[in-house]
Chain A
Amino acid sequence: EAQVTQNPRYLITVTGKKLTVTCSQNMNHEYMSWYRQDPGLGLRQIYYSMNVEVTDKGDVPEGYKVSRKEKRNFPLILESPSPNQTSLYFCASSLSPSDVFYEQYFGPGTRLTVT
C-alpha cells in the first residue's frame, strides 16, 4: 500500500531533550516536506526537500533540523525542544518537485507535547 508513515504517532517529552520524528514514504517520491498544524494558525511548512541531499527552509524552520540522506526517509530533528514546539506534525511527499501540489500525500501525523 502506497503511504507515508510517521513515528512515533504520539510523544510527550521534556524541554531540552533531543528527539527525532521519522518519516518514510514507499512511493519513490522526490519531494518531501514537514508541516506543523496549530489551532488558529493552520498548517505551516517547516522544511522541505526537493530531492536527496537537497533541503530548504519553509515558513517556520527555527528550532528544527532535517536531513535527506535517502529518497524514502526525511526525519525531523528537534535538538532542544521547547514548549512552543508542542504541535501536530505532518510529513508529506509528492512525486515530482515541479508539480508538487497536484498530488501531495500526507502522513497520519505526530502529536508532540513538550513540557
Chain B
Amino acid sequence: QKEVEQDPGPLSVPEGAIVSLNCTYSNSAFQYFMWYRQYSRKGPELLMYTYSSGNKEDGRFTAQVDKSSKYISLFIRDSQPSDSATYLCAMSVRMVGNTPLVFGKGTRLSVIA
C-alpha cells in the first residue's frame, strides 16, 4: 500500500459545482497536511495547510482532516474555470526540513464554463 493515495481523475465538473478532492494515507504519524494547486506548465503552489484533525476554511476552499480514518479532503465551493488545475495533497510528520514531505499523485480537475 502506498503511503498516500489520491485518485488521479480526471474530474470534470460544471462551473458553480462543489468539488470534493480526497486523499487517504497509511502513516498514522502524519500530523501536517497540505494541499497544493498546480497549473499546467507551472510549479505547485501551496493552497492550504492544516495541523492534526479538524477543518480549515479560506474563502471558497475548505480543508478537512479526519485522522481516525486517515482521510483528508479539500472542498471547493462555487467552482470556477480558473480552478482547473491538478491538486496535490501532501503530508508530513513534522514541519522541519529534514522530514520527508510525502505527496499524493495529484487529481486533475476541469471546471467547465
Interface of A toward B, CB cutoff 8 Å: 4, 31, 33, 40-45, 48, 50, 56, 58-59, 90, 92, 94, 97-109
Within B74-113, which residues are at the interface with A (CB < 8 Å)? 88, 90, 92, 95-98, 100-101, 103-106
Is B45's beta carbon under 8 Å from chain A? yes
Q: Which B residues touch A40, using CB under 8 A?
A: 105
Q: Which B residues touch A97, using CB under 8 A?
A: 96-98
B15 to chain A, nearest CB (A): 27
| Contact A98/B44 with A42-B103, A45-B101 known, Cβ cut-off 8 Å | no
Q: Which of A99, A101, A109 contacts B101 (CB 8 A)?
A: A101
Question: Complex formed: what's the CA distance from A92 to B44 in Å?
Answer: 9
Q: Which A residues touch B44, using CB under 8 A?
A: 43, 90, 106
> Are the CB atoms of B49 and A101 closer together than 8 Å?
yes
- Residue in chain B with minimal CB distance to A49: B97
Q: Which A residues touch B106, using CB under 8 A?
A: 42
Q: Which B residues touch A45, using CB under 8 A?
A: 100-101
> Are the CB atoms of A42 and B43 closer together than 8 Å?
no
User: What are 24 residue pairs bridging A and B, where the CB atoms are less than 8 Å apart in the complex?
Assistant: A33-B97, A42-B88, A42-B104, A43-B44, A44-B103, A45-B101, A48-B97, A48-B98, A56-B98, A58-B100, A59-B100, A97-B96, A98-B96, A98-B97, A100-B97, A101-B34, A101-B46, A101-B49, A101-B101, A102-B46, A104-B46, A108-B41, A109-B41, A109-B43
